[in-house]
Amino acid sequence: MTIEFVKSHGAGNDFVLIEDLDDQIGMLDGGFVSVVCDRHQGVGGDGLIRIAPSDQADFFMDYYNADGGVAEMCGNGIRCLAKYVADRGIIGGDTLRVDTRAGIKHLVLYRNEEGLVDRVRVDMGAPILARADIPVAGDGDPLHVAVNGFEAACVSMGNPHAVVVIPRLAEIDVERLGPAIETDETFPVKTNVEFTEVLSRDEVRVRVWERGVGETQACGTGACATAVATNLLGLTERTVGVHMPGGRLDIEWTDDTTFLTGPVVEVFTGTLDEHIGRKLPAPSRR
């Protein structure tokens, strides 16, 4: 089989997007996803997004991590979806509603002089702060969770995050500590990990270890979780610039919701040829 795709990124967090608005492909096989996202044998990406129809919103974001696992939400990926459908005229206007496994998200699109989307604001919803709902095993304040020799402030943005505030980000071995915390038994469904250095009351620097992916250039839900956690810890204000290796994301946490604003870039288009089609199981229907 052959499938057309687009490669895009939001602040360096990159994705393979596949349009399936007629719902002909359906939910994807995990092995197919993992090889497509492989940076040596496939296209390469931190995740794969199938753009699917929705009865409740304009589109459904069927999102998969690079290891083939289904994920709830991706703040950078949803901006890539918005650019895809807007730049191709599939939708008009500057607002968009996208259904995800973490609920319906409302987006505002910003265009450049050529009329193409280059920045998107996403209403990410309210953070989840109840320990059992994040989820985090055990009892006690989820903002002070002892794990692997560190204290983590745990927050969910539809997916779980453990924010670890440290004095100097450069001194942290992310490749070693990231997976150790991700898979710690404290987190029943594993967790994303944000190693965070507070620069000022309105700026932080973060490196992210994403569940099922590894270290990524940026993470939208992780940026939101970091802003919420550092504010609750008394370290930052509610409007925070989050500096990640791939660029800056701007977060605003209000009484009712959390807004994520950041850039989006389309890199190239292509076709998954028969070589990949022969190697992998066919995508399965939902």
pLDDT (tens, 9 = 90+) of the chain, 286 residues, equals 678 999 999 999 999 999 999 999 988 999 999 999 999 989 999 999 999 999 999 999 999 999 999 999 999 999 999 999 999 999 999 999 999 999 999 999 999 999 999 999 999 999 999 999 999 999 999 999 999 999 999 999 999 999 999 999 999 999 999 999 999 999 999 999 999 999 999 999 999 999 989 999 999 999 999 999 999 999 999 999 999 999 999 999 998 999 999 999 999 999 987 566 445 445 554 4
Q: Is position 74 annotated as part of the catalytic site?
A: yes
Alpha-carbon distance of 152 to 140, in angstroms, equals: 12
Which listed residue (37, 80, 154, 219) is catalytic? 219
pLDDT score at 273: 75
Burial class (CB in 10 A: 0-12, 13-18, 19+), 118: middle
pLDDT score at 2: 77
For domain 131-256, give the CATH number. Answer: 3.10.310.10
Alpha-carbon distance of 226 to 238, in angstroms, equals: 11
Name residue 184's amino acid.
D
Counting every residue, how long is the chain? 286
Q: Is position 219 annotated as part of the catalytic site?
A: yes
Contact criterion met (CB below 8 Å) for 60 and 28: no
pLDDT score at 275: 60
All structural domains of the chain with their residue ranges: 3-124+264-279, 131-256
pLDDT score at 285: 46
Alpha-carbon distance of 71 to 143, in angstroms, equals: 23
pLDDT score at 1: 62
For domain 3-124+264-279, give the CATH number. Answer: 3.10.310.10
pLDDT score at 109: 98
Which listed residue (74, 80, 154, 224) is catalytic? 74
